[in-house]
Amino acid sequence: MDAEELPVEDPAALARAIDRVARGEVVHLVRDGRPVADLVPAGADSRAAQAQQAARAITQRMADQFGAPTLAHYRRVYESCGQPWPGDEEIRRRFPVADAS
């Protein structure tokens, strides 16, 4: 689940998001950690986009109800699956993350 944080005052962020959509990616725009819109490539399968939107809504609802995992939790999952760590910022773009402070 990729997400592009889109500050309204940052037109460069919007340009990056549009470039990603032009390459065929679905970009999920968030503001203050909350989803606000999806940019979907023209001609994209709307069922796939709807499924992604439903998955994000469920994930966010669970995070709101029970709290989001921390980066440490996500690291342990990646390690247990033998997957390389994509980096903190990539995880924050894809998933809700609790502040560990």
- Is the CB of residue 46 less than 8 Å from the CB of residue 76? no
27-62 tens-digit pLDDT: 887 777 777 788 888 876 777 777 888 888 899 899
- pLDDT for the residue numbered 1: 44
Buried b (16+ CB within 10 A) or exposed e, 9-32: eeeeebeebeebbeeebbbbbbee
Helix extents (H) in 5-95 = 11-22, 46-66, 71-80, 88-94
Give the predicted TM-score (pTM) of the model. 0.52
- pLDDT for the residue numbered 56: 85
In the chain, domain spans: 1-67, 68-101
- Is the CB of residue 33 less than 8 Å from the CB of residue 95? no
